[in-house]
Structure 1
């Protein structure tokens, strides 16, 4: 028998009519925002499936904008996301893709750029009840939910890199709940995704970056 929590049915505290189309959209965008340092200057949202069909009526557009600006699912400012984005100079665009098939019905691609010109692309899925998954970063397939503190390390796919990351976490007494390696191709760029049920201190990021084969480090803190 599969256990279903009442919170899976009711969903989280939220602004909007739908835990999947509103709260889930906020959570996906907020995770993307946490992965890119600095202020977001531009955002493009490409929506698929039911997201593409109903994003205006269900407030998915306002929710995505709110998440990108750092709003939580129950933040009342989500109702005024368009006005706030315009006032703060955030450039945004929504595009409904009705051609791509085979995606989860609640899927969005987010392309964001900060004031320094750094670009990040993320694909997220709203799985129901306000729960989400990030399934792609910069065209590399990954998987994490944001329910744990998550460290994402972009590095060369070379021997010793995973051991280096694990050692940095161990030296700061961070317990690893899950650790997965994703890569573009053998010997190319790899993404190590480490989830912990406790906060990951800043010194871990600094230690991981000390390896010259590490290209980028991102942290989504619970």
Structure 2
């Protein structure tokens, strides 16, 4: 299971030789940063497939870290981004993996600080478009480009109903929903696509519900007239 398309971009403006290895890599980093919600203390970058073989020559390393710093694909600071990250106190480790992956342009990111950790597996599928295959070992699948929210929760009776009831109360329509869990009574993840962005106040109310442990909103980008425009907000 995977996102149909977190980003749907054709012909991105970018710094680097390859849209798959630079623009897509940058956007995987940006999604991870947005889901983490802040600049981490450390980032462990596990490069797989062609990413592992060519990441230095194609600037994939620079692109990923520029995304973690929330730089866009055309930011002129990208060539110096590793020095910038060091100056900002971000510790970066790159690992070349021979892991057998379904797509050659795959990267696994581990973001950590004193408040917590996040694991994101992303794939650059070409033309600057990406797919997010895993978030903390869960595999969500909101299809399309509408606002999406991921809700990590305990697998307890009423947890899902509480979330959907609150969305209905606020007149937020659910276009798609999928639930996966690590095991009965353990951790579970709701992936919900909604028609309208969820504001900060509603996120706070969702956090107040029983059994909710973490909430992320997924940012969708679409390039129009050679400019990137956000179509939903990130908490």
Q: TM-score range by the shorter chain?
A: 0.7 to 0.9
State the partner residue of 1:123.
121
1:23-70: per-residue Cα shift (whole Å, max 9, x none)?
111111111111113321110100100111111111110000000011
Output aligned runs, 1:43-58, within 5 Å. Answer: 43-58=43-58
State the partner residue of 1:110.
109
RMSD: 2.2
TM-fit CA distance, 1:176: 2.5
Q: Label 1:190 to 1:94 Cα distance change in 2 as closer, same or farther (>3 A).
A: same
Q: Label 1:136 to 1:16 Cα distance change in 2 as closer, same or farther (>3 A).
A: same
| TM-score, normalised via structure 2 length | 0.83
The question of whether the paired residues in 1 share the 8 Å contact of 2:163 and 2:209 is answered with no
Of 64-73 and 156-165, the range deviating more from structure 2: 156-165
Q: Label 1:220 to 1:20 Cα distance change in 2 as closer, same or farther (>3 A).
A: same
Output aligned runs, 1:151-162, within 5 Å. Answer: 151-162=149-160
The question of whether the paired residues in 1 share the 8 Å contact of 2:150 and 2:217 is answered with yes
- 1:71 matched to 2:110: no
State the partner residue of 1:218.
216
Output aligned runs, 1:1-222, within 5 Å. Answer: 10-98=10-98, 100-114=99-113, 116-144=114-142, 147-221=145-219, 222=232
User: Unaligned 5+ residue runs, structure 1?
Assistant: 1-6
CA distance in 2, matches of 1:31, 1:157: 26
User: Unaligned 5+ residue runs, structure 2?
Assistant: 1-6, 220-231
Q: Which has the higher helix share?
A: 1
TM-fit CA distance, 1:9: 8.8
1:71-113: per-residue Cα shift (whole Å, max 9, x none)?
1222222222112112111100111102x11331111000011
